[in-house]
């Protein structure tokens, strides 16, 4: 059931996965205890499924509306043209009374109000799902961190827990980002990056490239670019401050520079990762799965690069504007009327 739930999430079918992991979590808590290391995966996967479900529901609505927009507009315009063609003939034959107009307007207002209430309820449900997802993931991370750092003599899951640490932190970052808590998301992604760099050290002495090494390199690219994205998503003109600890991660004036720094690291690491992938493919190693993921992270890097380019362009335009105004004032002083 656990593998089935993971498979459903990967296929974009998060709703049934939520039910599976909710059941597995209850069983794990009953069998092993609420704070046991055996329960940690169920906490995390339940939270992850909830988050993906909330995100897919929001995206599905937007996509459906976008797909329906063009045909609806075309039909409306065609109907409007037909009505305009008949307007001169039918005006005298049938003029709606004031009562009919009032009833029609009232009906439209009621429909709009019902639609608005429905959208607000859906948004509230999505928000509560994201909050619950974050709670589940943070619980999983707390258990995992305590297990790795604690003094428990039972360390049979230590290797697994160490490998999962950056994944759990990345999931927490995703939930925080969806919730609009971008400074906290940047902090979570930064901690995930630290763990990923530690895992990379295990491959330092490896002479032959492997899919696991390629994946590790790609995930480091991803962590860097996620941090850059979150810094850029933070409010302009404000320090980047975490919610609970009130730690100042970055000063307002340095926010874009920090984002650019992480972007540069991601771009450089991406180039090395692509070269590594080419070397592996030349040796006949199957890199098909990682190739798709690397292409995806490449689009992330490209997107952040475009954002930074736009910011640079805007900054240059703003820098030139005061100079133009100053030049005009100087000319006015030299040529008084």
Report in angstroms the alpha-carbon separations of 184 from 110, 164, 248, 252: 40, 20, 11, 15
pLDDT reported for residue 85: 42
| Contact of 299 with 334, CB cutoff 8 Å | no
Same domain membership, residue 171 and residue 243: no
Tell me which residue range forms the domain holding 51: 1-59+128-179
pLDDT reported for residue 204: 79
Q: Would residue 54 count as lying in a domain?
A: yes
Report in angstroms the alpha-carbon separations of 123 from 48, 49, 115, 128, 130: 18, 17, 12, 9, 11
Q: What are phi and psi of 248, to 5 degrees?
A: -85, 105
Same domain membership, residue 263 and residue 166: no
Q: Would residue 295 count as lying in a domain?
A: yes
pLDDT reported for residue 70: 35
Q: What are phi and psi of 249, to 5 degrees?
A: -75, -40
| Of 36, 275, 72, the residue nearest 156 (C-alpha) | 36
Same domain membership, residue 315 and residue 189: yes
| Residue pLDDT tens, the chain, 337 long | 888 989 889 888 999 999 999 999 999 999 999 999 999 999 999 999 999 999 886 544 333 333 333 333 333 333 333 333 433 444 444 445 555 556 556 656 665 665 555 555 555 556 799 999 999 999 999 999 999 998 878 889 999 999 999 999 999 999 999 999 999 999 999 999 999 999 998 887 776 789 999 999 999 999 999 999 999 999 999 999 999 999 999 999 999 999 999 999 999 999 999 999 999 999 999 999 899 999 999 999 999 999 999 999 998 888 776 655 555 555 555 555 5
Same domain membership, residue 305 and residue 229: yes
Q: Would residue 84 count as lying in a domain?
A: no
Burial 211-236 (b: 16+ CB within 10 A, else e): eebbbbbbbbbbbbbbbbbbbbebee
pLDDT reported for residue 73: 35
- Residue 53, token pair as written in the block: 């479900």
Same domain membership, residue 264 and residue 202: yes
Chosen domain end from 179, 207, 238: 179
How far is residue 57's CA from residue 61's CA, in Å, rounded to a whole number? 6
Report in angstroms the alpha-carbon separations of 307 from 151, 233, 252: 46, 11, 17
pLDDT reported for residue 92: 45
| Of 229, 239, 216, 238, the residue nearest 174 (C-alpha) | 229
pLDDT reported for residue 83: 34
Q: Would residue 65 count as lying in a domain?
A: no
Neighbours of 167 (CB within 10 A): 17
β-partners of residue 241 are 248
pLDDT reported for residue 268: 98
**What's the total number of domains in the chain?**
2
pLDDT reported for residue 203: 86
Q: Would residue 200 count as lying in a domain?
A: yes
Residue with tokens 């032959």: 208
- Residue 43, token pair as written in the block: 């906490």
Assign residue 51 the CATH number of its domain.
1.25.40.10
How far is residue 261's CA from residue 28's CA, in Å, rounded to a whole number? 43
pLDDT reported for residue 333: 56
pLDDT reported for residue 153: 80
Burial 280-314 (b: 16+ CB within 10 A, else e): beeeeeebeebbebbeebbebbeebbebbeeeeee
How far is residue 30's CA from residue 40's CA, in Å, rounded to a whole number? 13
């Amino acid at each position: 059931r656990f593998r089935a739930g993971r498979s459903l999430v990967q296929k974009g079918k998060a709703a049934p996965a939520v039910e599976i992991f909710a059941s597995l979590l209850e069983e794990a808590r009953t069998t092993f205890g609420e704070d046991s290391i055996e329960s940690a995966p169920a906490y995390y996967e339940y939270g992850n499924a909830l988050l993906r479900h909330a995100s897919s529901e929001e995206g599905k609505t937007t996509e459906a509306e976008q797909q329906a927009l063009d045909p609806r507009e075309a039909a409306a315009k065609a109907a409007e043209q037909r009505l305009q063609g008949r307007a001169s003939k039918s005006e005298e034959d049938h003029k709606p009374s004031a009562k009919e107009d009032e009833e029609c307007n009232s009906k439209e207002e009621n429909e709009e109000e019902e639609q608005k209430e429905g959208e607000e309820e859906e948004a509230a449900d999505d928000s509560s799902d994201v909050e619950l997802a974050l709670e589940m993931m943070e619980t999983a991370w707390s258990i995992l961190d305590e297990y790795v750092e604690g003094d428990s003599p039972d360390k049979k899951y230590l290797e697994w827990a160490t490998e999962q640490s950056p994944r759990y932190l990345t999931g927490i970052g995703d939930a925080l980002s969806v919730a609009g808590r971008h400074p906290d998301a940047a902090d979570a992604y930064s901690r995930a990056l630290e763990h990923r760099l530690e895992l990379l050290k295990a491959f330092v002495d490896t002479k032959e490239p492997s899919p696991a090494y390629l994946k590790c390199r790609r995930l480091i690219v991803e962590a860097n670019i996620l941090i850059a994205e979150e810094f850029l998503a933070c409010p302009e003109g404000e320090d980047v401050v975490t919610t609970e600890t009130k730690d100042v991660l970055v000063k307002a004036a340095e926010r874009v520079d920090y984002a650019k720094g992480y972007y540069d690291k991601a771009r450089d690491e991406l180039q090395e990762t692509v070269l590594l992938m080419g070397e592996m493919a030349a040796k006949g190693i199957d890199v098909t799965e990682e190739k798709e993921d690397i292409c995806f992270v490449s689009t992330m890097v490209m997107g952040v690069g475009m954002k930074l380019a736009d910011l640079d362009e805007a900054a240059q335009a703003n820098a030139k504007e005061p100079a133009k105004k100053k030049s005009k004032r100087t000319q006015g002083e030299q040529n008084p009327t």
